[in-house]
Amino acid sequence: QQKVQQSPESLSVPEGGMASFNCTSSDRNFQYFWWYRQHSGEGPKALMSIFSDGDKKEGRFTAHLNKASLHVSLHIRDSQPSDSALYFCAASDTGNYKYVFGAGTRLKVIA
């Protein structure tokens, strides 16, 4: 069973709009979260991490973590066509360096 569930599978937003992604861990051992982005033909690149309850903002990107429910979200404001990519949530098990990825959300930003 997939330990990390992501939704939606795909998303289209207009340029300048807000894109929102959701992720939940089903294993309480995996409670450190990361967001990665992958453009076509490239490897995933880390966007940001969140380990504590609440919000974390980095530029146009804001992540929110609820540790009680192991739910994390990512919001991109003022979306740009260059943001079109696959977005992955990853959860890590701090006990043994293990990182598990979700199935991803494909974002398309329409100019």
Partner 1 sequence: EAGVTQSPRYAVLQEGQAVSFWCDPISGHDTLYWYQQPRDQGPQLLVYFRDEAVIDNSQLPSDRFSAVRPKGTNSTLKIQSAKQGDTATYLCASSPGGAGTGQLYFGEGSKLTVL
- 98 near partner 1, judged by CB under 8 A: yes
Site for partner 1 in 21-80 (CB under 8 A): 32, 34, 36, 41-46, 49, 51
Stretch that binds partner 1, among 58-66, 68-76, 77-85, 99-107 (CB under 8 A): 99-107
Q: Work out whether strand 30-38 and strand 54-58 pair parallel, antiparallel, or are unpaired.
A: unpaired
Residue 7, C-beta contacts closer than 8 angstroms, at least 6 positions apart: 21, 22, 23, 105
Q: Work out whether strand 105-110 and strand 10-14 pair parallel, antiparallel, or are unpaired.
A: parallel
Query: How many residues line the site for partner 1 (CB under 8 A)?
Result: 30
Q: Work out whether strand 10-14 and strand 54-58 pair parallel, antiparallel, or are unpaired.
A: unpaired
The residues binding partner 1 (CB under 8 A) are 4, 6, 32, 34, 36, 41-46, 49, 51, 86, 88, 90, 92-104, 106
